[in-house]
Structures are given as C-alpha cells and as structure tokens.
C-alpha cells in the first residue's frame, strides 16, 4: 500500500508541521514581481518536494483562489497526473553535469503553450557538480522570461554561496513527534490498520521523524508483518548497561553487550547512534546530575566523530569496539561511590494523561523525577531506574479526520 502517494498533500493547508515554510511560500507567490528562484532546505521526508509541487501547480492554476491551486482545472489535473509540459521535475542526483544544465537551458526555449510559467523543480540539487552549479548560476542570474526555479536540498552547505544568495530560502524543520504520531494514528484509522500509540511512536523514532518513510512503514504493516518486525530497536536496557560499564571500567561488559547486539542483527553504527540519542535525552532532563552531564559530554566528543567514519565495512565491529573502549577511558567515575537509595519507580501503566495539557504541564509530565543523582553506584537495578525514559504524554486525540484527502484521478 503506497500511503505516501495516496496521502500526499495537494493543498498548502495539508502540509504537515511546516507552517513557517508554507506561510513564506504563500506570501512569495502573492508578491509582485514574483521571485524567480526558491531554495527549499530540510531533512529527507520533511515535505520539500511536496511543497514545491503545490507551488508549481499554484503558479499555473487557471482558477486559483488567491494562491491556493484549485486542483480541478486542466493545468492542475495535468500536473497531478505527472504529464504537465511546463512543469519539469529533475533529480539532481542523476542530472548533475554541465550537459544536463545545457539541457535545461534548451528546454527554456520551448514555448509553454497555454501555461503562464515554465517551472523547474530540481530535487537533491546539492549533488550537482561544481561546474554544473556554476552553469546553473548563470541561468539563475538572468533567467528566461516567465521561468521559475525551485531547488530542493538536504545539504545546503554543498551549494555555491552565490546560488543561495539569489534564492528565497524556505527552511523545513523536523516535525514534532506528537504531531507525526497523531497523523499516523489518523491514517491508520482511515485505512483500517491496527496501530497503537506506542507503535506509532516507534515508527516515528525508527524513521527519524520522516513523514514519507513513516507512511511507507505504516503501509507495510499487516497481520503477518508487525511494527516490531519493520522497526527493530536495540533494547534500552543494553544501552543503559553501557553507561554502567563506563562507570565501572568494565571492558568485558562492553564486549558482552556488543556481541549480543551483533547477534540480533544490528549494525555497529546503529548502536552508537542510539547510544548518542539516549545520552542526549538524559542530559536534557533538568534533574540529571552534573556528574552524568560532564561524562556524557566527554563520551559524545569521542563517539559522534566516529559515527560518520564507521560505515558498514568488515572492520566496523572492531572500530565500534575501539570507540567504546575510548569512551570508557574518558569517563571519570565518582571518587566516593556512596549507596543511594533509588526513588520508587513510577508505575507508567497506571498513568492516565488527560486528552490535552498546557505546554508547561506537559513538559513537566515528560520528565521523570527520579533522574536526580547520576551514576553513583554500579547497581544495575538502580541504574535502570536512574536511566529510565521519560513518560510519554499523548498530546493528540485519536482518529481526528486528517483533512488529507487522497487524489484519485
């Protein structure tokens, strides 16, 4: 089931979680004279190409109300069916050479027939070579009449500064977890897919907040394929045990954890990424001890640079082990380890959150109060309570109509 295509927004109001980018786009389309170059910047799956398509459709719509495309006229229907002659979508990862830019220049000479604008949407434009970007720059400096360029990229720093300076930049942010979780629950409800809130959160975390990839995952869920199968996760207890091993200077425990994680089929890179995520999550809690924060800073300075160099080669496991050994050497245990009585754990199963909470109360409810002492003893029981995750408070309601009506040609 191709849910990303079925639920792809076709109106500005349907774009999820990008109100600022949408507002800038709408204001820009209403201006005179019209901006000729737009640069959409953000993470993969955040909605860049989707918004670019809506903008392109709006520019050539024959019956639009304000800047909202009607999605009913011949121009809109042609684009929705991917056969619009004046709207060109180009993959910068494939068309990344100077000759490809020359091809764009040649297309600019073709008459647009009954369309008002000739539009080029260049996805992954940062993958164009430097000579190609320079050739593109000449085109952006003096664009042909009635020609609009919409560039999309996940890595803005790889584009020439001169290209960025000539474009109106729309920045896309990572969509909040609660918003994506609620959206997945709504889509699952309309599609008749059995999905719990915990499973929706797991899909979000596994796909790093990407709505497109989250919908792809949701569309694969069935009676035979569960969310756990699609989104495998390293057990939180194993990650917590690594912090205990750091505190106790226990190399053998690190080896045991690594072996267990590898046997479960996880890549070493995933282990380090999850460890970094957990460390940052704990550091962000207001009652986390300064002992843990200072040590977490030390190990992050070791682990984060190693992640990009790790890869999935045959040496990845060895390099991961050496990285964790290095992290262990920079961790500084407490000089006087005193036994600290653990605060009684909160029974999350009995926690009943209201349907909605003020932001201030919601933030307080998401922080577990017993995280207050730091790793002061080597007790696995205490450390488990100490490092336990924050309580997740549902800030959305179940089965609210999404408003994302699918397009059916």
Q: Beta partners for 90?
A: 122
3-state SS class at 121: strand
pLDDT for res 264: 82
- The arrangement of strands across the sheet holding 118-123 comes to 87-91, 118-123, 147-153, 37-41, 168-171
SS3 for 266? Answer: coil
Q: Is the dihedral of CA 214, 215, 216, 218 positive or negative?
A: positive
- Between CA 170 and CA 246 the distance in angstroms is 43
Give the pair of three-digit tokens for residue 352: 């009943």
Question: Are 198 and 348 a contacting pair, CB within 8 Å?
Answer: no
pLDDT along the chain (409 residues), means of 10: 86 90 93 90 90 93 89 90 89 85 85 84 90 89 88 90 92 88 90 89 86 90 86 85 90 91 85 89 87 91 86 77 92 64 35 40 35 40 42 35 42
CA nearest neighbour of 350 among 397, 391, 395: 391
The whole-number pLDDT of residue 45 equals: 86
Phi and psi at residue 121, to the nearest 5°: -100, 115
Cis preceding linkage at 73, omega within 30: no
The pLDDT value recorded for residue 22 is: 93
Q: CA dist 29 to 20, 72, 200, 203, 341, Å?
A: 14, 19, 35, 35, 62
pLDDT at 338: 45
The per-residue pLDDT for 329 is 92
Residues 6+ apart with CB under 8 A from 99: none
Contact between residue 156 and residue 48 where contact means Cβ atoms under 8 Å apart:
no
What confidence score (pLDDT) does residue 313 get? 61
**What pLDDT shows up at residue 49?**
92
Structural domains for the chain: 3-171 (3.40.50.300), 177-230 (no CATH), 236-337+371-386 (1.20.272)
Task: Pull the structure tokens for residue 89.
Answer: 């979508």
Could you please report the per-residue DSSP string of 274-311?
HHHHHHHHHHTSTT--HHHHHHHHHHHHHHHHHHHHHT
| Centroid of chain to Cα 313 | 25
**Beta 147-153 vs 168-171: how paired, if at all?**
unpaired
What pLDDT, on the 0 to 100 scale, is given for residue 1? Answer: 60
Tokens linked to 115: 């369309």
The whole-number pLDDT of residue 161 equals: 92
Contact 394, 178 (CB under 8 A): yes
């Amino acid at each position: 089931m191709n849910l990303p295509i079925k639920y792809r927004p076709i109106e500005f109001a349907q774009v999820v979680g990008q109100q600022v980018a949408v507002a800038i786009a709408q204001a820009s389309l209403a201006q005179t004279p019209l901006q000729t170059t737009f640069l959409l910047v953000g993470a993969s799956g955040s909605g860049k190409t989707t918004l670019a398509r809506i903008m392109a459709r709006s520019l050539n719509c024959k019956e639009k109300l304000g800047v909202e495309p009607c999605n009913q006229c011949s121009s809109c229907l042609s684009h929705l069916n991917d056969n619009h002659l004046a709207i060109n979508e180009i993959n910068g990862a494939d068309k990344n050479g100077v000759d490809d830019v020359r091809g764009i220049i040649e297309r600019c000479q073709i008459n647009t027939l009954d369309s008002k604008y000739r539009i080029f949407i260049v996805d992954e434009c940062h993958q164009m070579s430097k000579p190609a970007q320079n050739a593109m720059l000449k085109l952006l400096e003096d664009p042909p009449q009635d020609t609009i360029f919409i560039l999309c990229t996940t890595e803005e720093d790889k584009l020439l500064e001169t290209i960025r300076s000539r474009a109106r930049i729309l920045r896309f942010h990572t969509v909040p977890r609660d918003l994506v979780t609620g959206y997945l629950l709504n889509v699952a409800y309309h599609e008749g897919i059995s999905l719990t809130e915990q499973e929706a959160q797991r899909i979000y975390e596994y796909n790093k907040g990407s709505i497109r990839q989250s919908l792809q995952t949701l569309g694969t869920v069935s009676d035979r394929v569960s969310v756990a199968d699609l989104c495998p996760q390293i057990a939180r207890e194993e990650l917590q045990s690594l912090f205990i091993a750091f505190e106790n200077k226990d190399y053998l425990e690190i080896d045991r954890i690594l072996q267990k994680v590898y046997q479960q089929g996880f890549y070493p890179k995933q282990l380090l990424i999850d460890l970094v995520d957990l460390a940052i999550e704990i550091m962000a809690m207001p009652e986390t001890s300064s002992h843990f924060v200072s040590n977490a800073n030390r190990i992050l300075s070791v682990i984060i640079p190693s992640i990009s160099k790790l890869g999935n080669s045959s040496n990845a496991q060895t390099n991961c082990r050496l990285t964790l050994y290095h992290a262990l050497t920079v961790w500084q245990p407490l000089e006087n380890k005193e036994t600290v009585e653990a605060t009684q754990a909160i029974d999350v199963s009995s926690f009943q959150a209201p349907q909605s909470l003020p932001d201030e109360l919601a933030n307080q409810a998401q922080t577990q109060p017993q995280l207050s002492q730091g790793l002061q003893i080597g007790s696995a029981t205490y450390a488990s309570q100490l490092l336990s995750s924050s309580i997740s408070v549902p800030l959305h309601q179940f089965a609210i109509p999404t408003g994302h009506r699918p397009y059916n040609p």
